Copies of this chain bind each other. A is one copy, B any other.
Amino acid sequence: MSDAVSRLKVGIVGGTGYTGVELLRLLSQHPHVELAAITSRKEDGMPVADMFPNLRGRVNLAFQTPDTAGLDQCDVVFFATPHGVAMSQAEHLLSKGVRIIDLAADFRLHDTQVFEQWYKMPHSCPGVLAEAVYGLPEINRARIAGARVIGNPGCYPTTVLLGLAPLLGAGKHYIDTAGIIADCKSGVSGAGRKAEVGTLFSEASDNFKAYGVSGHRHHPEISEHLQNLAGTPVGLTFVPHLVPMIRGMFSTLYLRIQPEARTTDFQALFEQHYANETFVDVMPAGSLPETRSVRASNQLRIALHRPGNGDQLIVLVTQDNLVKGASGQAVQNMNIMFGLPETAGLQHIAVLP
């Protein structure tokens, strides 16, 4: 069938976590993709549908070891692996003409010292890092189109950066960039599928807490890219919290409006900025977005509030951490890299209730 010929051959390295199963869900329904291989040393030979029963009858792949998977014959390989894996295989795959989308942090931070400080490992391929593009399409679309390697953004950074992007840039003095506050909340799937006491049902259910207050790996990632947007260093306070829900992320951004910007129509500013973005929904002024409105979809929704028309701008941002915050965004990047319609395979409507 001629269609098969034109499909992208896609490989996934490490598909046993939640970003892995979400890639499988999205890619197996993608009209231009052929799932060629998925690897896991530990689960070699196990059908993926045995691990993820939602895939029964829909995905017939089994996990393979990296050696036998033929990844170097793929058009693109996604890394849904722990930090450090993608950078160890990147040069080889690139040399074979395979493009790379890493869902971990190997290619997100361009300062290797910062990477090493936060991820506690040396960066093993700074050369590839130098050419890697940060895969936030609404900010970097043109560079993504030409990239061989994508560092797919973290979930928190996606919400904070897209919530702030319209306010930052050369000559823009809307907000006090020295005092940005991001109070962020994530569903538990953000912690991954590792067996750990802290994310057991009996620990995380019917509970709420902050974590990583003294320092979280997404802080330097957000800061680096905010600085890129603003053109100057920014001051960011970032506090993540854990919400007893599976999927969903919600960021409440507190921004002090500069005196000279008090008359700005921020609603119009955001609407215009994102007018052509399918996956960013600037809701009507005063809206109250809910995480369930994006559950299992690639949509990110933004709403603006300015209580009492004062000097505080509050930006509410929500997404599904596993879709726009991870695997959906990765597929969006793939679509851009290969000249496919950007929405291909990503048009699922959010599941509510």
Interface residues of A (CB under 8 A from B): 18, 21, 25, 28-29, 52-58, 179, 181, 183, 185, 187-189, 191, 193-197, 199-211, 213-215, 237, 239, 241, 243-248, 250, 252, 254, 256, 281, 283, 286, 288-297, 299, 301, 305, 307, 312, 314, 316, 318, 322, 347-353
Q: How many monomers of this protein are in the complex?
A: 4
CB distance from A328 to the nearest CB of B (A): 12
Task: Name the residue of chain B whose CB is nearest to the CB of A193.
Answer: B197
Task: Name the residue of chain B whose CB is nearest to the CB of A18.
Answer: B353
CA distance A248 to B201 in the complex (A): 14
- Taking CB atoms, residues of chain B closer than 8 Å to A18 are 202, 353
- Taking CB atoms, residues of chain B closer than 8 Å to A305 are 213-214
Contact at A208–B56, with CB atoms within 8 Å? no
**Known contacts A29-B347, A54-B295, A349-B58; is-contact A202 B188 (Cβ 8 Å):** yes
Besides A183-B183, A199-B202, A206-B206, 17 other CB < 8 A contacts? A25-B351, A53-B290, A53-B292, A54-B293, A56-B301, A57-B299, A193-B353, A201-B205, A201-B244, A201-B246, A203-B353, A205-B206, A207-B245, A213-B288, A237-B312, A243-B244, A348-B348
CB distance from A16 to the nearest CB of B (A): 10
CA distance A291 to B243 in the complex (A): 11
CA distance A204 to B29 in the complex (A): 26
CB distance from A347 to the nearest CB of B (A): 7
CB distance from A308 to the nearest CB of B (A): 8
**Known contacts A244-B201, A305-B214, A316-B213; is-contact A292 B185 (Cβ 8 Å):** no
**Known contacts A18-B353, A200-B200; is-contact A54 B292 (Cβ 8 Å):** yes
Can you list 15 contacts pairing A with B, beta carbon distance less than 8 Å? A29-B349, A54-B349, A56-B283, A56-B299, A181-B254, A195-B196, A195-B200, A199-B202, A200-B201, A206-B246, A206-B295, A213-B307, A214-B307, A244-B244, A254-B254
Contact at A57–B214, with CB atoms within 8 Å? no
CA distance A294 to B53 in the complex (A): 8
- Contact partner of A189 among B246, B297, B301, B353, CB < 8 A? B353
- Taking CB atoms, residues of chain B closer than 8 Å to A207 are 245, 248, 290-292
- Taking CB atoms, residues of chain B closer than 8 Å to A246 are 201-202, 205-206, 353
